[in-house]
Homo-oligomer: A and B are copies of this chain.
Amino acid sequence: MDTPWLDRPQLRAWIRLRAVLALLPGVLDAQLRRDAGLTEFEYQVLATLSETPGRTLRMTELSRLSNATLPRLSHVVTRLQGRGLVERCSCPENRRTTNVLLTDDGWEKVRQAAPGHVATVHHHVIDALTGEQLEQLTAIGDALLTRLDPSGTMAATYTRYDGAPEPQAPADG
């Protein structure tokens, strides 16, 4: 294959994106682990459940909404279950699906963890950008996700807050 190297503008953008990719997850994870004893992914699982009517989701659906593979989610749910934050309850009408339910303790946990996490996101992402840049980032994200998730398997995930009015539930989405 003829290899098209990156020219300067491309390189400049890519280097920055790679740095953000390397640094941001660590920052988010550290804050949550320190203040709430949760992984960013664990938080996302709990938060997603907290935003769902009935606080319940099937494993597959939950894995889509949290950008995770099924094995990964299964392990995490096992751990969260051990801590009493979620429960597995197999649904009767389809016996191969597993429903995950956010317990009251889990709800309380995410309620306590949310402010600090949202503040971190605000400080490290939102407040760093202008309103215009936020829109640009949204468009760029859409473009990238078209390539990263061409089948649109997880498309429902990141379009769920398009249109419609203001949010009401806690967590961050």
> B-contacting residues of A (Cβ < 8 Å)?
1, 3-25, 27, 44, 67-68, 114-115, 118-119, 121-129, 131, 133-149, 154, 157-158, 160-162, 164-167, 170, 172-173
Contacts and interface: CB of A to CB of B under 8 A. Distances in A.
Nearest to A161: B11
Contacts of A18: 44, 67
A137 B140 contact: yes
Contact of A13 (B7, B141, B146): B141
Given A5-B118, A10-B134, A118-B4, A15 B157 contact: yes
7 closest cross-chain pairs (CB), A and B: A16-B141, A22-B67, A3-B115, A23-B148, A136-B136, A128-B143, A13-B138
Which secondary structure dominates chain A's binding surface? helix
A157 B19 contact: yes
What number of copies of this chain does the assembly contain? 2
Contact of A9 (B16, B138, B158, B164): B138
Contacts of A5: 118, 167, 170, 172
B133 A139 contact: yes
Contacts of A67: 18-19, 22-23
A5 B172 CA distance: 7
A171 to B, nearest CB: 9
